[in-house]
Chains A and B, each alone.
Chain A
């Protein structure tokens, strides 16, 4: 459960912060170019942040008390595989969900 005081602190600050990120160059900084090293690093924000957010939870899920769960691991691998092959976010989600439910049903 999310703490409500924290939620109402995080939401407005996140909204303002996200807006400023979007407004930055479009709104104020105009055509000033970014340093090359920074544009290079920014290209890797999504692949840098998202896997780190999920990797520990994939190997040691909270729902199973931290025990590695073959169903969840298989689902994660299938999601990546389908996503890499089809380049489709939706396809990858469906592939992962079908694998998860199939494995849970087999074990369950």
Chain B
């Protein structure tokens, strides 16, 4: 086996555990989108073109609440801003790959592919550039096809689910479940706390604007606190 294909299959093996998380999440998106009135084609266009679950959920929720288009876009893109970090972090490792490959990889830059690839590149910096590219695409194999297929499954099943199942609450639970594992440092906890407090205080504002202000305050709080802590450590 060449080094490139070995890297591809190693990537696939490393991200295999994500499959089990992606399936229910994608089914849920299909179901929630159907509940929101999207047909199967619209659900699939959404999930294939955007390919970023959390922001798709956020946009759906805001559109259902009749938020203005600009607010929907601003909030959904704010959810995806973390990917700037991913792009920054991978650039030194993949910057020498041909532009065409980088353009395709950008579309597939998701939490899972970033997580396993960045670890691999740190561990194996001498890997040839095309082997690094192959690893990245290998890491997508257990994630991307499954995401599309399970979204479709959810969209097809969506109408069959009665209101007793309280699916209105599937979204909040999913978002909270995504946030909880991130609460691993004091600044993260403070940022989440500010986010909750401000969103409740500003809940009376026209829909969606409160969320953006709360998010900005939360990010500022987290960043300021970590800056203070780092400065304190440097001085101490």
On A, residues with C-beta under 8 Å from B are 1-4, 6-7, 9-15, 17-19, 21-27, 29-31, 33-34, 37, 39-63, 71-72, 75-76, 79-84, 86-90, 92-93, 96-97, 100-101, 104
Interface string of B58-76 (1 = CB under 8 A from A): 1111011110010011011
Whether the pair A52, B223 counts as a contact (CB closer than 8 A) is: no
Flag if B63 contacts A45 (CB, 8 Å). no
A20, chain B: closest CB distance, angstroms: 9
Please state if B36 and A47 are interface contacts (CB–CB under 8 Å).
no
- Decide: B176 and A104 in contact? CB cutoff 8 A: no
A-B contact pairs, 27 of them (CB 8 A): A6-B69, A11-B42, A11-B45, A14-B76, A21-B87, A40-B223, A41-B219, A41-B222, A42-B81, A43-B85, A45-B219, A46-B79, A47-B195, A48-B215, A49-B75, A50-B178, A54-B171, A54-B175, A55-B196, A56-B200, A63-B168, A72-B169, A79-B180, A83-B176, A92-B180, A92-B181, A96-B177
Query: In chain B between 173 and 192, which residues have their CB closer than 8 angstroms to a CB of chain A?
Result: 173-184, 187-188, 191-192
Inter-chain contacts of B49 with A (CB < 8 A): 11-12, 14-15
Give chain B residues whose Cβ lies under 8 Å from the Cβ of A86.
181
B177 nearest in chain A by CB position: A92
Instruction: Tell me whether B141 is interfacial, beta carbon within 8 Å.
Output: no
Residues of chain B at the chain A interface (Cβ within 8 Å): 20-21, 24-25, 36-38, 42, 45-46, 49-52, 54-55, 58-61, 63-66, 69, 72-73, 75-88, 90-92, 94-95, 99, 102-103, 105-107, 109, 164, 166, 168-184, 187-188, 191-192, 194-196, 198-200, 203, 210-211, 214-223, 226-227
* A44→B188 contact, CB < 8 A: yes
**B interface majority secondary structure:** helix
Most interface-central of A13, A22, A48, A59 (chain B CB within 10 A): A48
Residue from the set B66, B87, B164, B168 with the largest chain A CB neighbour count within 10 Å: B87
- Per the bound structure, the CA–CA distance linking A51 and B88 in Å amounts to 25
Cα distance A54–B102 in the bound complex, in angstroms:
35
Does the CB pair B95–A18 fall under 8 Å?
no
Q: Is the interface of A mostly helix, strand, loop or mixed?
A: helix
CB-defined contacts of A14 to chain B, threshold 8 Å: 49-50, 55, 59, 73, 76-77
In Å, the complex CA distance between A72 and B171 comes to 12
A43, B222: Cβ atoms under 8 Å? Answer: yes
Q: Could you tell me the distance between the alpha carbons of A34 and B55 in the complex, rounded to whole angstroms? A: 23
- Cβ 8 A contact of B38, one of A7, A21, A47: A7
- Of all chain B residues, which has the CB nearest A30? B95
Contact between chains at B106 and A75 (CB < 8 Å) = no
Instruction: Assess whether A53 is in contact with B61, with CB atoms less than 8 Å apart.
Output: yes
Contact of A97 with B81 in the complex, beta carbons under 8 Å: no
Cβ-defined partner of A52 (8 Å) among B88, B166, B181, B195: B195
Smallest CB-CB A-B distances: 10 pairs:
A83-B180, A44-B222, A92-B177, A48-B218, A52-B199, A15-B49, A52-B214, A23-B106, A96-B173, A25-B87
